[in-house]
A and B are shown apart, each in its own frame.
Chain A
């Protein structure tokens, strides 16, 4: 991924030292990276809030809400939670199962819509 930022710790012969620990200690990045992402998170949160403050409506509102939400979530997972620098095996193991949740959401949306329509149709006010 971002090779310029990734720093390797000094490697001594790892015969006795547990390899996993040496691997973890190598994941240090300049604090600057975190501070920048931190600033960006504040900016995106401000934009999210403005969507409501300026009373945007309809498709524009929902698109912006989702857009800033996904942006913030991506930065938190990738940078703060280090996922960007983890091995692909770990990335895939953790990030693909939530895709199944999209199926759940789609199914429940269809069901919710159906329930709404049957309530309208069935109950005479």
Chain B
């Protein structure tokens, strides 16, 4: 059976046809299928971290530090809660936008724009990690440790460092990943290969990094 989109069964019939196919269960490039499966596993990992954070926060008898206060910054005399976090959120969303545009231009085979947008995405990601490092420095200076802190429940520190640490690690990995692919785009590697799928697959990873931040922002900083 040829995998022409217009002749493939849709809906539930399509599900049966896909999963019972003799060669390929998911008629997409293997890179895309594997990246989705990896992201699924990563979802489970981050869910474990966030769930255990929920558990220790619920079960501690000490008051939980107020994130609005802990992560507030005083700028020009004005005390602004969660300022750095809000900026970091905007940066990550912007980077998702540039990445989506990069994928679009990739399929249009525009090497310069694709690479430029991917480098922009990576740069935004790098600035995010820098700001997270700033956040860590500030908190460590204020006495936050994995085993205790002066603001409240002792579990705050370990939750914060584990969750944001793993996320920051993923962002860093993404920055390297995107830079490598962007350089290959510039060199014409994907023109020779015949497809720009790799740009889309890298995009999937980057959007996942943004997605995890959406959940961290909501559950750790806002709640």
- Partner-B contacts on A (CB < 8 A): 8, 11, 14, 19-21, 23-29, 31, 34-35, 38, 41-42, 45, 48-49, 51-53, 55, 62, 65-66, 68-69, 72-73, 76-77, 79-82, 86-90, 92-94, 97-98, 101, 104-105, 108-109, 111-113, 115-116, 119-120, 123
Contact = CB atoms under 8 A, between A and B. Distances in A.
Q: Which 10 A-B pairs have the closest CB atoms?
A: A112-B58, A89-B18, A115-B59, A69-B218, A19-B3, A38-B97, A112-B55, A34-B100, A112-B59, A21-B195
Contacts of B36: 90, 93-94
Nearest to A6: B5
Interface of B: 2-6, 8, 10-12, 14-15, 18-19, 24-30, 32-33, 36-37, 39-40, 43-44, 47-48, 51-52, 54-61, 68, 81-82, 86, 89-90, 93, 96-97, 99-101, 104, 107-108, 194-197, 200, 203-204, 207-208, 210-211, 214-215, 217-219, 221-223
Contacts of A104: 47-48, 51
Given A24-B32, A38-B96, A87 B51 contact: no
Contact of A105 (B43, B54, B89): B54
Contacts of B44: 97-98, 101
Nearest to B193: A21
A58 to B, nearest CB: 12
Nearest to B221: A52
B59 A28 contact: no
B152 to A, nearest CB: 15
B89 to A, nearest CB: 5
A87 B14 contact: yes
A78 to B, nearest CB: 11
Contact of A81 (B54, B86, B204): B204
B30 to A, nearest CB: 8
A93 B221 CA distance: 31
Nearest to B89: A45
B218 A48 contact: yes
A98 B46 CA distance: 11
29 contacts: A8-B6, A19-B27, A24-B195, A24-B197, A25-B195, A28-B104, A28-B108, A38-B100, A45-B93, A49-B86, A69-B217, A76-B214, A82-B204, A87-B28, A89-B14, A90-B26, A90-B33, A93-B26, A98-B43, A104-B48, A105-B47, A105-B51, A108-B55, A109-B58, A111-B55, A112-B55, A112-B58, A115-B59, A116-B61
A119 to B, nearest CB: 5
Given A25-B107, A80-B207, 8 more contacts: A38-B93, A81-B203, A87-B26, A89-B19, A90-B26, A94-B36, A105-B51, A112-B59
Nearest to B99: A80
Nearest to B59: A115
* Residue of B12, B203, B211 ringed by the most chain A CB atoms within 10 A: B211
B153 to A, nearest CB: 12
Contact of A52 (B4, B68, B100): B68
Contacts of A52: 68, 81-82, 221-222
Contacts of B97: 34-35, 38, 41
* Residue of B2, B36, B211, B214 ringed by the most chain A CB atoms within 10 A: B214
